[in-house]
C-alpha cells in the first residue's frame, strides 16, 4: 500500500492479494454505469459518483469499514473518498491508478459492450469545441472566446479535481446504461451482506 497526499492508496497487486481468498474489502466502482458495464473488476459494485455524493448518508448504513473505491484512474475515486469520509466512514482506500492500473498489472476484468470512457468523451467534446470555435472565429469575431472558456474550464477542472463537462456528459443516456439509482445500489449492497 502506498500513501499519496496522506490518503491511503492501494496498488493493484495489494488489492489482488486482499481479494484472492474471497473475503476482501467491498469494492465500489464510482464510474458511470456505462463505463462500469464496459469493464469492471469482478465482484465490484457500481455506485456512480453523483449517486454516492447525493445519497452518501443512506449508503453509509450498507457499507462496512473495509471499502476500496475504484474509477478509471483514481481521480473520481478520490472525490468519492472525500464524500464518504465527510459522512463518517473511516478507513477508506482508493485503488491507485484505477481500473487502468488494475488491467495493466494483469488483473482480470468482467467485460461488456465497448464504450468510450468519460475522460475520453470530455477530451473529444472539449477539443471539438476549441477547434470549431477557433476556425469559426476567423469568420465571426468573438466566437473564439468559446475556446477560451473551454480552456478556462479545463484549467479549473485540473485545479479542483472536478469536471463540470464530465458531470454533464455522465448524465447522457449513453453513459447512464442500466439503472444505478439509490434503490438499485442499496439493494445490491444489502444483498451482498
Helix 145-160 × helix 118-136 angle, to 10°: 150
**132: pLDDT confidence band, cut at 50, 70 and 90?**
very high
Q: How many residues make up the chain in this entry?
A: 193
Is the pLDDT score of 66 beyond 90?
Answer: no
Give the pLDDT score at 68: 94
Edge-to-edge strand order for the sheet containing 7-10? 2-4, 7-10, 92-95, 67-70, 26-29, 45-46
Give dist(CA 12, CA 104) in Å, integer: 9
Mean pLDDT within 171-175 = 78
User: CB of 95 within 8 A of CB of 102?
Assistant: yes
Give dist(CA 167, CA 122) in Å, integer: 10
Give me the chain's average pLDDT, please: 84
Give dist(CA 53, CA 84) in Å, integer: 8
Which pLDDT tens digit goes with each residue over 77-105? 999 999 888 888 877 999 999 999 999 99
**4: pLDDT confidence band, cut at 50, 70 and 90?**
very low
**193: pLDDT confidence band, cut at 50, 70 and 90?**
low
Of 32-36, 147-151, 187-191, give the lowest mean pLDDT range: 187-191
Give the pLDDT score at 51: 86
Give the pLDDT score at 131: 93
Mean pLDDT within 39-46 = 94
- Specify whether domain 2-115+178-192 bears CATH 3.30.565.10: no
User: Could you state, in order of their start, the residue ranges of all structural domains in the chain?
Assistant: 2-115+178-192, 118-170
Give the pLDDT score at 2: 40
pTM: 0.70
Amino acid at each position: 500500500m502506498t500513501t499519496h497526499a496522506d490518503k491511503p492508496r492501494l496498488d493493484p497487486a495489494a488489492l489482488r492479494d486482499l481479494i484472492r481468498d474471497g473475503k476482501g474489502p467491498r469494492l465500489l466502482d464510482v464510474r458511470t454505469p456505462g463505463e462500469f458495464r464496459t469493464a469492471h473488476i469482478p465482484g465490484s459494485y457500481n455506485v456512480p459518483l453523483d449517486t454516492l455524493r447525493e445519497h452518501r448518508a443512506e449508503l453509509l448504513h450498507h457499507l462496512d469499514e473495509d471499502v476500496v473505491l475504484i474509477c478509471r484512474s483514481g481521480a473520481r475515486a478520490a472525490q468519492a473518498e472525500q464524500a464518504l469520509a465527510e459522512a463518517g466512514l473511516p478507513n477508506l482506500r482508493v485503488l491507485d491508478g484505477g481500473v487502468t492500473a488494475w488491467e495493466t498489472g494483469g488483473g482480470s476484468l468482467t467485460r461488456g459492450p465497448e464504450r468510450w470512457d468519460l475522460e475520453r468523451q470530455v477530451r473529444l467534446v472539449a477539443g471539438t469545441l476549441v477547434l470549431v470555435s477557433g476556425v469559426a472565429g476567423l469568420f465571426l469575431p468573438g466566437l473564439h472566446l468559446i475556446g477560451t472558456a473551454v480552456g478556462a474550464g479545463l484549467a479549473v477542472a485540473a485545479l479542483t479535481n472536478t469536471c463540470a463537462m464530465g458531470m454533464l456528459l455522465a448524465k447522457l443516456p449513453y453513459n447512464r446504461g442500466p439503472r444505478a439509482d439509490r434503490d438499485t445500489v442499496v439493494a445490491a449492497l444489502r444483498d451482498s451482506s
